[in-house]
Structure 1
C-alpha cells in the first residue's frame, strides 16, 4: 500500500465511478423512452384511421362467360379520404358458387396506402352460360370380352371452366362385356361453380367379328333442343373395309329412333355391309334437351 493512500479511499472512488456509469445508463434509457414515445405519437397523429369505400352503380351486372376481370369491375369506383381515388386499385377477390344457374356473387377488394381494406359484393349474371356438356371421342361400341373403357373416350366441357374431363365420375353401370346387348352407364360431372350434370349413356356389346368394315363419324354425341331436327347422314365421315378400301357412304343403313319432341338420350345406328358380306356397326348418342325458361 502506497503511503498516504488508504484502502477505504480506493473503495470510495470505485463506488463513485460505478454510480456515474449507472446514472449514464439510466439517462440513456430515459432518453430512448422519450424518443420512442415521440415517434409513436407522431405515427399515431399521422395514422390513417379512415376506411376506403367501394361503390357500384348497380347491384348486379350481366356479362359473357368470357368476361375479363376488367369487365367484371364495370361500374365500380373506390375512394379514400386520405388517398383519394382508388378505382384503379380494385381487384376481384372471390367468386362464389352458383346461387342459381348462371349467377354468382363476386366480392371486390381495395386497399388504401395504409392497408385499410374495403369490400363490396354484387351479383354477376352470365348471359350465355350453359351447363357442362359431354362429348365422345369414339363410339360406345365394344366387342364381347373387350374392356369397356368409357372414361377413355368420354370428355366434358363447361362454358366457364373449359375442359373438366378430369371431374367425370361413373355413378353406376350394368355393363356385362361377356354378353351381346345394349347396357347403361350413368356418369356425372360437376363444374367449379357447382353445376352438376348426369347422363345415362348406352353402351353396346357386339359379337366378335373379324375383318369388318369401319364407319367413322364426325361426332359420336350430339345435343339437340326439343323440336330440333337432325340429319344423321351428315355425320358420316368415312367408311372403309378391313383393308382400308373406301366404301360408298350411301351404302350405310341408318336406323334413327330419335324423338326430338321428347327429352332423353337416344342412339342412331349406322350399319354397312361390304362386298364380302362383313358387317360394320357404329352408334351415335343423341341427347334431346328440354328447353327451360330462364330464371330472372
Structure 2
C-alpha cells in the first residue's frame, strides 16, 4: 500500500522468478499486469506471471491499496487584510498541518515565508510550507493586503497581558494618535478609560479615544488580560509506556513550554534529559526543564517504561525437508504468531510466500510474515530442501525380445527396486505381472510394481517381443544310394539349408558330420548332420546311404583263342562273353575298345585287350 503521490513501480516489488528446474528466470520475461492508478485512491492488483518450462503459467497476484494523501496545511483565512498598525502575525493564521499519512506536523516545523510589510500599503503573500513524508513540498499561499488608515490611535500593543503583580500603566501603551488627515493628536486629548484591576487575574479593557476632525469617535479598545503565571511544560502522557522496537523520541513527548507571560518557549531551549534505553526492558525517567522569565527552573519528570516486544512467529521446524511426491504444505509448519503486545495474530493474517516446487528437487525457502502493531514486518524464513524421490525399479532391459524356445523368465530382467528414501526394496515384494507366452510369437508386456513409502504405486512396464525361432537343418535327401567305388559323393553335398535361431545361414562346413560310409564296400550306412543353435539346442538330421554292388564286368569266352590260317570270319566280338556297366546295364559293342591286332594271315601269338570306361569313369579291361 502507498499514498497518492508516492513514487511507486510494480517492478520494484519483483524480487526474482525461478523456473521448474530451479534456474533463474530473466525478469524481462516476467509479465506484469498492473491495474494500479497511483493518483486515484482504491484497491488494485498487480499480477506477475511467466510461462515455465512445462508450459504452465506461474503467477503471483499482489493486492495494492492506494491510500489518500492526507498532506495539507489548514489556515484560518485564505485571504487576509488589515490596516497599518493593526496587531497581526503570520502564525496566528496557521491552524494545523497534516502529513501524508494523516499524522499531525509540529507547527514549529512549518516554514513561514512572509513578504508582508506591516507599515506599507500593498499586496503581499505569506507562504506556509513543509516537506511531507514523500519528500514533496506542501504549501499554502495566503494573499495579504495592508490597507492605509490615517485616522488612528497607535498603541504599543493591541492586546495586552501581564502577570499579577507586574508594573503596568494604561498610558504606557499609548504611542500616538493621528487624525483623519494624518496630523498628530495631542495625547492629553486622548481619553483613557480603564477597568483593569492589576492585582486580580481577569479580562479587562482599556479604551483610548478621541473625536477626529470629522466628528467621528476614534477609539481603540485594548483587551488587557491579567494572567496567572503561566510558566509550565506540557507533555503528552505523564506516564509513557512502549515496546522494544517502537519508534520513540523523548522530544516527541514534549508538546510545548510556556513562559511566565504565557509566551511559547522555543522547544530548542527546553533541556531534555533521558535515561531511556530503547532496546532494554526497564523503567526509566525523562526530565524536561527550562529557566523561565523570572529565573525559576520549570521541570516535569515523565516515567517511561520500556516493555518487552512480544512480536514473533513460531514454526514447527526451522529447517524442512521432504521427498518429491510427499504431501507437504507450507501452512502445516506454522504454529502461531504473536503481536508486539503479546496478543495472538490470526494465522489468516500471516502471509506465506513460498518458492517451493514440490515436484522438483532443490533448495527453496518459505517466508512467513505479518506487519506488527508497530508497522514493522515480522518474518521467519524457513529453508526447505526438496529431496529427490529415489523410488524406482531397475531392469536390465527396457525392451526385451527372445526367440521361441529360448529359456526366459520375467524375474531375470529385474535388477533391483529402490524406495522413496533410497533404501532397497526386497525383490520378493515386487509384483510381476506378465502376459508373455514364450511359445507363441507376439508382442507382450511385463509389469514390475510395488507400493512405495508414500503409498504410491511404482511400476515399470517392459515390452517383450517373442520372435520366431528359425533354427532348422534341411537335407536334400534322407536316403541316398550309389555303387561301390563311386567316390564322387560327399556328405556336404546333401546339405540343402541350415539356419540358426535368428535366421542366419550356417555354412555346411560348420556342421558336425558323422560319416561311416565306406564307398568301396556295399552296405547300408548312416550319415549324421548336427549343429548347436544360438540357444544351445542341438539339431540333428540323418541320411541313410546305401552302397550298392558295383556290377561292372568284362568277360571273354576264352582267355586263350586258337585260330587257324585262312579263318577270315572271326572278329574280336566273337570272343566277348559279357560287358556290363556299374549299374548292371549291358555295354554296347560300340562302347568297347579292342586294343591290339591279330594277323589272321600269319602264324603267331598275339594279345588282344578288351576294355570300356564304366559309369564311374574307371576303365574295365581284359
Relative to the length of structure 2, the TM-score reads: 0.15
CA radius of gyration, larger in: 2
Which has the bigger relative contact order, CA under 8 A and spacing at least 6? 1
Higher strand share: 2
When normalised by structure 1's length, the TM-score is 0.28
